[in-house]
Chain A
Amino acid sequence: MSSAHEASARATAVATLGETIPTDAEVTPLDGRRWGMVIDLDRCTGCQACVVACQAENNIAINEENRVLERRAKTWIRIERYWEGEFPNAKARFIPVLCQHCGNAPCETVCPVWATYHNPEGLNVQVYNRCIGTRFCANGCPYSVRYFNFWNPEWPEPLNNQLNPDVTVRTKGIIEKCTFCLQRINRARVTSKNEDREIADGEVQPACVQSCPTTALVFGDLNDPSTTASRLAESERRYTLLENFGTDPSVVYLKKVDPHVEIDHHHGHHAETAGKHA
């Protein structure tokens, strides 16, 4: 989106919604926190514990079989699996994919009503009651991590008792996505404020991070060099997903380690020789 177009869109939004619309300077965290996640692909086993933890924490609608068949299943975090090679030298590679909370998020600039914006702590936030369901953001997201509610979610009674009262149940016609468990961040913020201290490293754990049996997922403030997440994000194995798109994700991946794969160090490619060397 051009700056002129952006200014026009902002003017329209301000006229509609008032001066609550943040400016670019406000949405770009300069010296505050930047919440982020580091995912070590060498620890991840694809076990799906994070997927179910997220469903449980965030009141995600039941993905009935028809929803899966229609490609309308909602999984704020999903494990993608990619094949390499052929039998008997075949391998499966797993990667958890969730909202990358991009610093330059393509989804934010296309929303006509500023339902999605960047908050001062680096979160890509979806404001449900602003969303009018254009789905521009879902189309703009290269990671396919924004989910549209084609139906109102249903939890046959008494299954609704499991719903987390901290998380809004999304209705038909709006977009939803990973929030980095914003409700947990807010709770930690309140607790630390009441106790007159800063939020400690590791104090906030999104549900996926908390459940992960292999500790493949680590969450923290990427702007604080003392946090575990920040230190891991500086690993030589770091990379970001679809880096060439320039989205500046807040999710950093650590490369899968495979001592048997030939790496082209000049181009960063690896040959499909997986498994040929025992």
Chain B
Amino acid sequence: MSTLGRRRFVMGSTALIGGATVVACAAPERESQVQSFVLQPEQSLPGQELWFATACAHTSCGNSVVVRTIDGRAKKVEGNPAFPVNQGKLNVRSQSGVQSLYHPDRLDTPKKRRGLRGAGTFNNLEWATALDLLAEKLSDASSVTIITGPISGTRARIAQDFAGAFAGEHLVYETIESSVWRQVAKAGLGVDRLPHLDIANAHSILSFGADFLSTWISPTQYSIGYGEFRQGAGERGRLIQVEPRMSTTGANADSWVYVHPGQEGALALSIAQVIAAEGLTGNDNWFDAVNAVGGLDALNAYAPDLVAERTGVPASRIQEIAREFASHQPGLAIAGGPALASANGLDNGLAVILLNRMVGSVGRVGGLLPNPGPRTGITPPVVPTTFEALASRANAWLDGDSPDVAIVFDADPVYGMPEATRFADALGSIPFVVGIGTAMSETLGHADLVLPATHAFEEWGDFAPDPMPGQQVAGYQQPVITPFVTGRSFGDVLLTAWHEVKPETAPTWETMRDAVRAGAEQSFGGSGDFEARWIDLLKNGGAWNTAHGGSFSPSQDWNINLLAEPQFSGDEIEFPMHLVPFESVALGTGDESANPWMQATPDPITSTTWTTWVEVNPKTAAALGVTRGDVVEIRTLHGKFEATVYESPVSAPGIIGVPIGQGHRFGGRWREDRGANVLAALAPLTVAGAGGLAWAATRAAVTPTNNFKQLPTIEVVPNARNDSEEPVVQISHE
């Protein structure tokens, strides 16, 4: 296929005339329907490709995609070249959409539980019966809780309003939370929205644990900026990555710096101290920035000599980092991953914001820029419920204070919440649980009623990317094929039940399509015929403008003296290792693990596929008496699991890295009973002041099991080295 440039895409889309009728007509209604060559569906010619712009997922992945369809079948997912967030590019996971669409184990009929909760035994139901049952339970309910993944737009509006109409609440669950970074933005920058990271125009990036090239927040958007940062028109940017376990971003850094877990804030303040002491910044206002958070005396307590042992970073190295960062401006300091997933994560993040202030990077090109809110009429992304809040709900439910009905969509808290929270039991205390999804999950396995959802490529929607790329963007989603199974979208299920049970409070629109279109008309209507604008919105995958918006209003509540020491679960003697879980580039937090492409996608660092491994420093492995392929038991205060050893020369002694994403009981042939779920064994510690799960604050003990499992790695020669005499990857100075 030739390149899908904007011009070609628009031309192709124009030929479709656009919109719903085209999509509905382009696909055969049933798999078995025979197409007559004489009587073709409108716009459909055998073998002729059609491209449709839509969203890559139900939830706010933030990317817009174009899907190639042929004969009513989706064939390939590519980035929408016109969309400002991903600019035609696409990450690993978004490309696997066709596999979840045509997954052989996809849910295709409603199911009612017949065994114990969590046993995974169900009877099939007709849709009409299932909807009657849902309506009956909702009629009797005094309160209804809705749990979804991160959502925005019409879907979010319906969920929130529905919960309101049924005297309940809408909880948004994120397995790896953005809540701490959000709180850092709120407390440090005075904004409720995630800031835009102007990576493309930065000359240096000092990242504390944020794996922004792989999994953190908006990796496609950030990777596009990174390409420019490295080899764009300007000076080649310098990347310094500070973290306890080398991430994919760390592997790409010019300088990778190991720091003890939870000490990122102390290191950031020490770098700030060097910048101040050596007068490294040209920003005239640096002194005000320091004064606002405690003054120079407080900062001097973090002089490199004083924190070298605490952080694990030699004093000379701290000075070098400060000089490199400060001498390549504009510079951008960011915090994420384990830096924010410690009990003192909020402090760590705010210390990093101070660095930005000192070098003048708050609100300037090449630094942190404010993001505008969504366009009027488009519901902004719902602020995710913190781990602390969700755990609190679980406790209340266990104590008998539960809603009568819970509706769960596109979220898997039973998998992601540590077992110590007893979330599965808490869900079990709710009298009636409805799960809506395209495939079984741990949470749906605990539901009383399971409803098959339409796939993202089969339904209507809209979304506000989170974060936006420094400009106002609205994304639109349309069906690209006729639904392949008899699923219904989450929005349509809620609307149907709402009109059935409480018609007096129900909105005027009865379908998601009508709701999305009505919202679009409110946002983009104006005078004249809206139909042409509506088709344009669908054809382009959304609408955007070039205006930047919003502003920072820095708060001064935080003080250097408030930086707390990190807290960990488990004592050093019994649990000598720091357990650092990490999100897998392909499996995410497990949501994509049902797709074989994703299972077979090698982890960038270890090249491992299909299983759960544990990264161990070679000397640590030797001390434990284990080597590559040995299966070890990893035990924490709150659980245990098994993983296969990968001896990694970039692993720090005392640190073990374990990928998130495996260890499912439900979800189909490629996902079930494979590997282990590290999240289940984590301690239910929270990030003080932010409420997020401190997922990097659990200590562990590692014990050999005397079992061996060959690691399914793509690397043929274990730990191959870039030979300095004849390097495969050749190096240049500039």
Contacts and interface: CB of A to CB of B under 8 A. Distances in A.
Is B one of A's binding partners?
Answer: yes
16 contacts: A43-B230, A45-B226, A47-B213, A62-B600, A64-B600, A82-B729, A87-B617, A88-B257, A92-B251, A184-B2, A203-B3, A204-B3, A210-B4, A210-B88, A257-B734, A275-B255
A180 to B, nearest CB: 12
Contact of B96 (A52, A57, A82, A92): A52
A157 B734 CA distance: 51
B650 A263 contact: no
A86 B629 CA distance: 21
A5 interface: no
A81 B607 contact: yes
B21 interface: no
Contact of B223 (A45, A55, A253, A270): A45
B601 interface: yes
Interface stretch (B74-82, B380-388, B398-406, B505-513): B74-82
A257 B719 CA distance: 22
A261 B251 CA distance: 15
A42 B92 contact: no
B649 A83 contact: yes
Contact of B729 (A64, A71, A93, A165): A93
Contact of A191 (B2, B86, B251, B252): B2
Interface in B652-667: 652-653
Interface stretch (A103-111, A211-219, A223-231): A211-219
Interface stretch (B34-42, B349-357, B630-638, B709-717): B709-717
A78 B324 CA distance: 33
A4 interface: no
B501 interface: no
Interface in B587-610: 596-602, 604-605, 607, 609-610
Interface string A240-278: 010000000000010111111101000011111001011
- Which of A65, A82, A91 is packed against the most chain B CB atoms within 10 Å? A91
Contact of B727 (A73, A157, A269): A269
A46 B714 contact: no
Interface in A14-64: 40-43, 45-49, 51-53, 55-57, 62-64
Interface residues of A, number: 93
A234 interface: no
Interface residues of B, number: 99
A211 B95 contact: yes
Contacts of A258: 254, 731-733
A64 B721 contact: no
Given A47-B223, A80-B715, A84-B721, A211 B254 contact: no
A110 B568 CA distance: 61
Contacts of B92: 47-49, 51-52
5 closest A-B pairs by beta carbon, nearest first, are A214-B227, A213-B223, A278-B320, A188-B2, A82-B722
Interface in B84-99: 86, 88-92, 95-96, 98-99
A275 B652 CA distance: 14
Contacts of B321: 278
A181 interface: yes
Given A48-B601, A68-B600, A56 B729 contact: no
Interface of A: 40-43, 45-49, 51-53, 55-57, 62-65, 68-69, 71, 73, 75, 78-88, 90-95, 144, 156-166, 181, 183-184, 187-188, 191, 199, 202-205, 207, 210-216, 236-237, 239, 241, 253, 255-261, 263, 268-272, 275, 277-278
Interface string B208-236: 00000110000110011011001100001
A253 B213 contact: no
Contacts, number: 291
B605 A81 contact: yes
Given A64-B600, A69-B710, A71-B716, 8 more contacts: A47-B223, A56-B96, A65-B712, A73-B609, A92-B246, A94-B252, A156-B669, A191-B2
Nearest to B213: A45
A48 B226 contact: no
A95 B602 CA distance: 14
B724 interface: yes
Contact of B90 (A87, A202, A213): A213
A86 B224 contact: no
B254 A260 contact: yes
Contact of B231 (A40, A46, A202, A213): A40
A95 B604 contact: no
B48 to A, nearest CB: 11
Interface in B685-734: 710, 712-716, 719-722, 724-725, 727-734
Nearest to A219: B3
A67 B436 CA distance: 34
A17 to B, nearest CB: 29
Given A55-B597, A81-B715, A203 B2 contact: yes
A211 B90 contact: yes
B67 to A, nearest CB: 11
Contacts of B598: 52
B248 interface: yes
Contacts of B610: 65, 68
